[in-house]
Chain A
Amino acid sequence: DAGVTQSPTHLIKTRGQQVTLRCSPISGHKSVSWYQQVLGQGPQFIFQYYEKEERGRGNFPDRFSARQFPNYSSELNVNALLLGDSALYLCASSFWQGSNQPQHFGDGTRLSIL
């Protein structure tokens, strides 16, 4: 079975632009979470979606938004990009939301802001 897939792998944008990152969870997984990882830090939680509804939001500005589609794939949108948004964006899926569910991560999208 395919793992979590993310696209694109790399992306270069300029300040003020908008970006959309995509994630396809493992087949059968209904929960998708997004994380931002900057160098030297652990992944930081952005959003979690389960059954197409937002179930959690981290401490990120409103420029960050996300959605989950009927097939459980997800998009992360970031508007008005800032230099500080340069990071690796990770998507993770699990079968359902629950404390004993391990997260299955994709390879991430490396976003560079010029």
Chain B
Amino acid sequence: ILNVEQSPQSLHVQEGDSTNFTCSFPSSNFYALHWYRWETAKSPEALFVMTLNGDEKKKGRISATLNTKEGYSYLYIKGSQPEDSATYLCASLLNQAGTALIFGKGTTLSVSS
């Protein structure tokens, strides 16, 4: 059974702080790793899709890295802002042909001004 773990479960930071979260996934039969941001009362929004070992992706102040050999990905937020408050979900693709994502429970970030 594919198990995706995320840590920490929740995080509270001050505006301007930089922070990072961890996503762990089985390294065998890896196909892709997705990151999503889910704000309250909105739908999950895709941040990154990563497929290659050593991949690094960036979107504004948010970046992510991928290590498929050891089975982890880090999401970094530089200079957190209140609008970054959300639950951040990572998901590993179950198979190469499909789009069956196995999600972790998420990391809930709260940023105070």
Which of chain A's residues has its CB closest to B47's CB? A102
Interface residues of B in 18-50 (CB under 8 A from A): 31-32, 34, 36, 42-46, 49
Number of A-B pairs whose CB atoms are under 8 Å? Answer: 80
User: Which DSSP category, helix, strand, loop or mixed, fits chain B's interface?
Assistant: loop
A27 to chain B, nearest CB (A): 17
Is B86 interfacial (CB-CB < 8 Å)? no
- Of the four ranges (under 10, 10 to 19, 20 to 34, 35 or more), the interface on chain B belongs to 20 to 34
Q: Let me know if A97 and B103 touch, CB within 8 A.
A: no
A: residues with CB less than 8 A from B are: 3-4, 31, 33, 35, 40-45, 48, 50, 55-56, 58, 90, 92, 94, 97-108
Residues of B at the A interface (CB closer than 8 Å) are: 4, 31-32, 34, 36, 42-46, 49, 51, 89, 91, 93-106
